Amino acid sequence: MSTLSSARTTVRAELPSFSFGRALALLAGTVVVGVEALLTRTELRRSRRQLAELDDRLLRDIGIDRSRARFEADKGYWA
């Protein structure tokens, strides 16, 4: 084996291999995580809105008062 071909083999072994399939899988995973986060935030917002609509009797049943329910309902989408 010549010195040049030996050097090429060594350089190729040290470079990270790029795989289109792996890149696509990473991208798909990132998209899935983003969609899950979006769905979680949407559900949280819906739950907070429903909490704000409960009457005082139902709020007492779950152990919170009107001011705490309003505080939770007024939180932003990101919170």
What are 11-30's pLDDT values in tens digits? Answer: 555 656 678 888 899 999 99
In a domain, 13, yes or no: no
Of 47, 43, 58, nearest to 66 by C-alpha is 58
What percent helix, strand, coil does the chain show, rounded to 5? 75, 0, 25
CA distance 17 to 28: 19
- The mean pLDDT of 4-16, rounded to a whole number, is 56
In a domain, 44, yes or no: yes
Q: Which domain holds residue 67?
A: 29-79
pTM comes to 0.61
CA distance 56 to 64: 9
In a domain, 1, yes or no: no
**30-59 pLDDT, tens digit each:** 999 999 999 999 999 999 999 999 999 999
Is residue 48 within 8 A of residue 73, CB to CB? The reply is yes
In a domain, 65, yes or no: yes
